[in-house]
Chain A
Amino acid sequence: MQDLIGFSWTELQRQWRRVLPGVIGVAAGVAILLTVLAGSTWLGAVTGQGILSQRALSQMTVTPGSEPTFTNAQVQWMLSLPKVDGGYPIVMGAFPAAIGDDGSVFQMLNLPAAVDRPALAAGSWPGENQVVLPDSGLMSRKTGSTIDSRALVGTTVTLTIPIAQGIQGSKTHVVTVAGVYHVDASPDSFGMPAVYSTLSTLEGILIEQGVWAGTADPNGSAGFGQFVIDAAKPADVAGIAQQLEGKGLRPQFVEQSVHGLSSRIGQIQAAGGVLVVLIVLFASLSISNVLVQAVRQRRKEIAVLLAVGFTPRWIGASLMAEAALAWVASLVIGLLAAEAVAFAVFLLQPSVGLRIDTISVLLVGIGALVFCLGAAWIPSRHAMRVDPVEVLREA
C-alpha cells in the first residue's frame, strides 16, 4: 500500500499541472458546500432560537376585519374550530391593572364597556360589579363616582373574572392588592411608585385563566381586536386560516416571515446545491479527462510496468490512488477556503457565527471522495486493459 501511494504520489506530482483544475474544482465545490451548510445551520439556529422556539409556526394572529373588535360568537367559533388548541387576546394600550399579592395581574380596562363586565367586588365597593376604568382610576357605573385605583392598594379584594362567561362560568381570585399597574404612566402619576409589568405578563395571566370568551351576549364585543390562535400543529395553520378567511376574518401568520425566511434558506440551499453539483461535476470530469489523457500518454509506461511484473489490478489501483490523493488535496484546500470564508464573515459581521462542523466535513468529504473515485473509475479500467504487446510492438 505504501508503495502504491508513493508511486501514485510521484505520478501526481509529475502530472500536477493537468490535475490542478480538477483539484481546484473539487476544492471549490467542497468550500461552497461547507459554507452553505454552515450558513444554513446558522440561519436555522437563529430562527429556531427566535420565532420558531416560541411555537410561532403553529400560531396565527387574527383580526376581525372591518370591525374594531371581535364578537363573542366569533371568539367562540374560532375556539371551536377543529385542530385549534386554544387562544388568547392581545391587549394593548394604556390601562391600569390591579396586582395581587400572589403576583397576579388583573386587567381593568380592556373589558367590554357597554354590557357585561367582569364582576369586581372589592372591599371598598361592596356589591360593585359595574365599573368603567378611565385612565386615572376606577369609576362606578352605579354611582358614576370615580375611584382612584390607588385606593385598592393594601386592601383585600375579590376579583371575579369571567373567563368564559356564559360558557364555563367565572374564576374568582381573592388577593390583597399590592400595587397598581399603569402602562404608559410615569412612576409618580398616582402619587406613588408604579409597579410595572409587561404586556406579556398580562397576556400570560389571561392564558392561565383559560379562554377569554367575552360576555354572554353572542353579538356583544369580546373586548379585543386581536386574537392569537394556537393550532395543534404547524401543518394545521393553513387549513384553519382558510376557514377564518371564509368567515371574513383576517388571519396573519406569524410564520409568514419565518416561512419566507425558510423559503429563502431553501432557495439558497438549492442554488448552492446546484452550483456545487455543477462545480464538482465539472471537476470530476476534469479529473476523469486528465486521467484518461494520462492513461493514453502513459500507455507505454503502463506496458513497461506490466512487462516487468506489475499486475493490471495494481495499475488500476494506482490511478484510483492518484484520484484519492487529489481528493485529499481538494478536501484540505476546500476546508481551508470554507474556514477562511467563515472567518471573513465573522470579521464583517461578528454576530454571524458560521461554524464548519465535523459532520458536514465528513459528509461533504465522503461525497467528494465518491466523485473523485467515480471520475477515476473509467480511466483506471482503461489502464488495466492496456495491451502491453501492442504498445511495445509500436515502440
Chain B
Amino acid sequence: MAPGHPYVRIADLTVVYRSGAGHEVEAVQSVTMDLPRGRFVALAGPSGSGKSSMLYVLAGLLRPTRGTVSVDNNDLTSMSADQLARYRCANVGFIFQSFQLLPHLSAWENVALPMIPLGVTASQRRTRACKQLSSIGLGARITHKPGELSAGEQQRVAIARAVINSPTLVLADEPTGNLDAANAALVADEMERLVRDLGATVVCATHDERVASRAQVVARMDHGRLVEQS
C-alpha cells in the first residue's frame, strides 16, 4: 500500500463509557476519518476530548459502542479477543504517558516482553532487545530496572518496547506528558524517525502544541468530536 493511501479507516466511531452508577459518558461521538500510512499523525485536543479513547480503539483494547474501525483493511470490530491480541502484538506499538514499564523487570526484559507471544526464543529476545536499546543510546542501561532510570530514559525504553516487533502502527498517548522540554523533543524526534525509517504510521495523542506542530497530519478533537483535520 503506497504512502498516502488510507491505512486507518474510522467510520462513525462512537465510544460510550458506562459507570457503575449507570451514568453514560460519550467519550467519542460519531468520528469519521481516514489516516494515511507512514505518516506522523497528531490527535490534538484538551483533556477529556476523546483522544485516548481513539487510541485504545485503534489498539484493539476498546471495542467501540458504534461504528467501524479498520487498520490495513482488517476490521477490528469483528475480531475476537485473541485475534485482537495477535493484531496488537504483530502490528501495534503502544507508548504510554506514564511509560508503563514493569518495575521488577530490567530494561531489556521490558523491551523483550512483546516478543514472548510471538514465540521468539529467549536468546533472540535478549539480543534484539539489547540491540534496540543500544540504538537509542541506552546500551549502558540494559540491565537497569525502571526505577534506576530517568523519566526520559524510561520513555525511551517504552518506545523501544513499542517498536521491537517493527509495528506498522505506533500509538502514543501523551508520550511527552511527563517529560521536560528536552526529553519531549527527543521523544518527538524518535517518533519522526519511526515514520521515516520504519515507514510506520504514528498516531500521537497530545495536547503539547510543540509535538503537534511536528506532525504531518493534525486531527483536533473536542468533547469527543473531530473538529478539524489538516
Contacts and interface: CB of A to CB of B under 8 A. Distances in A.
Given A308-B161, A311-B117, 12 more contacts: A14-B104, A303-B100, A304-B113, A307-B61, A307-B96, A309-B85, A309-B86, A309-B88, A309-B89, A312-B85, A388-B61, A392-B61
A308 B89 CA distance: 6
Given A389-B56, A389-B62, A392-B96, A308 B114 contact: yes
7 contacts: A300-B100, A301-B102, A307-B88, A307-B96, A308-B113, A310-B89, A389-B62
Contacts of B119: 3
B88 A308 contact: yes
Contacts of B56: 389, 392
B186 to A, nearest CB: 22
A307 B96 CA distance: 10
A352 B182 CA distance: 78
B227 interface: no
Interface in A308-335: 308-314
A42 to B, nearest CB: 48
Interface string B136-172: 0000000000000000000000000100010000000
Contacts of B161: 308
A290 B117 CA distance: 26
Contacts of B96: 307, 392, 395
Nearest to B98: A395
A185 interface: no
A305 B86 contact: no
Given A7-B116, A312-B81, A312-B82, A307 B100 contact: yes
B40 interface: no
A307 B94 contact: yes
Interface residues of A, number: 24
A305 B113 contact: yes
Contacts of A395: 96, 98, 100
Chain B interface size, as a band, is: 20 to 34
Given A7-B116, A388-B61, A304 B85 contact: no
A285 interface: no
A52 interface: no
A307 B61 CA distance: 7
A6 interface: yes
B16 interface: no
A142 interface: no
A313 B82 contact: yes
A17 interface: no
A305 B61 CA distance: 11
Contacts of B90: 309
Contacts of A6: 122
A294 interface: no
Contacts of A14: 104
Contacts of A307: 59, 61, 88, 94, 96, 100
A304 B88 contact: no
A382 B161 CA distance: 26
Nearest to B100: A304
B201 interface: no
B52 interface: yes
Chain B CB within 10 A, most for which of A7, A314, A392: A392
A313 B82 CA distance: 8
Chain A CB within 10 A, most for which of B82, B88, B89: B88
A306 B85 contact: yes
A305 B102 CA distance: 9
A279 to B, nearest CB: 31
Interface in B65-105: 81-82, 85-86, 88-90, 92, 94, 96, 98, 100, 102, 104
Contacts of A305: 113
B128 to A, nearest CB: 15
A308 B102 CA distance: 12
B117 A314 contact: yes
Contacts of A393: 52
B62 A309 contact: no
Contacts of B86: 309, 311
Given A307-B94, A307-B100, A389-B62, A3 B85 contact: no
